[in-house]
């Protein structure tokens, strides 16, 4: 069961939480992270971004492991040459917003939010690294890091969307859906998703289950992994956003939201 902002009690809690000291404390923590992120932004290269399992050969990026010692007489040095696709972090961000906020493709894609989302590109690269680590390592620590990184990305997206006029315009004539019609309510909900993902009350990880505060998100995470391997960047974001949306449901998450006000 999802928590809806139409519930007057929850809506009051969300509004009060914005000025609560726990949010102020979290803001201070995030500002420290942003200081490090700005250093990374200053050094950011304009070169395209590729998955880890790619290598450069003849000025192109290829899938696989290079045969540096005994290359085959082909363009890539391997028996089979498969070009490596560039990762589109903007498309991934659009997918996250669609999944987390229950928006339609026509609301988001087509460059409407692109200028705003470019400011979140660095933290999205951490999500890419997290997905690749989960795919290659398949361990509990990798899953925990991915969940935290998704939470950090959700928070950063909330920050850039707060000053994004095209994002506010999406909600001006939109009928009621999952997260109210006011874009500010959507921003509040993103903040709550980020809090729960970064520091859930309960996190259970096994081969057959991944639960945050009693909410199962394993299917979405697996679908995000599969989409990543198929280079479907928008789908990667959508499934991660859908997982984030799921964690604010149920009594345990309501308990955590209530705890933010204490």
H runs (alpha helix) in the chain? 8-18, 21-42, 89-101, 105-108, 114-117, 121-137, 140-162, 165-172, 183-198, 218-229, 233-246, 251-259
Angle made by CA atoms 197, 29, 262, in degrees to the nearest 5:
70
> Of residues 226 and 109, which shows the higher confidence score?
226
Every domain of the chain and the residues it spans: 8-49+87-259, 50-85
- For the cut 50, the answer to whether the pLDDT of residue 234 exceeds it is yes
Mean pLDDT of 133-157: 86
pLDDT per position as a tens digit, 10-64: 444 444 444 443 444 444 433 433 443 443 344 343 467 888 889 999 999 999 9
> Of residues 126 and 242, which shows the higher confidence score?
242
3-state SS of 98-110 is: HHHHCCCHHHHCC
Give the C-alpha distances (Å, rounded to integers) separating 221 from 31, 150, 158, 191.
28, 11, 21, 20
Please report the sign of the dihedral spanned by the C-alpha atoms of residue 52, residue 30, residue 6, residue 256: positive
Percentage above 70 pLDDT, the chain = 76
- For the cut 50, the answer to whether the pLDDT of residue 249 exceeds it is yes
Cα gap 28→30, rounded to integer Å = 5
Angle made by CA atoms 233, 128, 189, in degrees to the nearest 5:
80
pTM above 0.85, yes or no: no
Angle made by CA atoms 126, 22, 205, in degrees to the nearest 5:
45
pLDDT at position 141 is 84
> Of residues 259 and 12, which shows the higher confidence score?
259
pLDDT at position 105 is 83
Give the C-alpha distances (Å, rounded to integers) separating 65 from 49, 55, 81, 248.
17, 7, 11, 41
- For the cut 80, the answer to whether the pLDDT of residue 161 exceeds it is yes
Longest dimension (CA), the chain: 69
Contact 217, 246 (CB under 8 A): yes
Cα gap 146→201, rounded to integer Å = 17
- For the cut 80, the answer to whether the pLDDT of residue 164 exceeds it is yes
The rounded mean pLDDT for the chain is 78
């Amino acid at each position: 069961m999802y928590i809806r902002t139409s519930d007057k009690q929850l809506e009051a809690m969300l509004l009060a939480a914005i000025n609560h000291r726990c949010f102020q404390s979290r803001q201070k923590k995030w500002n420290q992270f942003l200081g490090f992120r700005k250093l990374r932004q200053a050094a950011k290269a304009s070169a395209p971004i590729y998955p880890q399992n790619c290598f450069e050969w003849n000025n192109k990026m290829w899938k696989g492991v290079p045969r540096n010692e005994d290359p085959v007489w082909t363009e890539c040095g391997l028996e089979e040459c498969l070009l490596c696709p560039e990762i589109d972090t903007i498309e991934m961000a659009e997918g996250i917003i669609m999944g987390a906020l229950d928006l339609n493709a026509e609301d988001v894609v087509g460059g409407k939010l692109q200028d705003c989302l470019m400011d979140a590109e660095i933290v999205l690269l951490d999500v890419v690294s997290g997905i690749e680590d989960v795919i290659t390592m398949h361990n509990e620590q990798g899953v925990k890091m991915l969940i935290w990184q998704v939470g950090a990305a959700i928070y950063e997206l909330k920050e850039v969307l707060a000053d994004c006029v095209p994002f506010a315009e999406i909600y001006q004539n939109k009928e009621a859906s999952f997260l109210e019609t006011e874009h500010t309510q959507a921003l509040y909900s993103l903040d709550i998703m980020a809090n729960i993902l970064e520091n859930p009350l309960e996190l259970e990880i096994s081969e057959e289950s991944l639960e945050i505060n009693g909410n199962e998100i394993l299917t979405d995470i697996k679908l995000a992994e599969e989409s990543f391997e198929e280079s479907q960047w928008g789908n990667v974001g959508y499934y991660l956003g859908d997982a984030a949306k799921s964690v604010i449901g149920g009594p345990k998450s309501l308990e955590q939201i209530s705890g933010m006000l204490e």
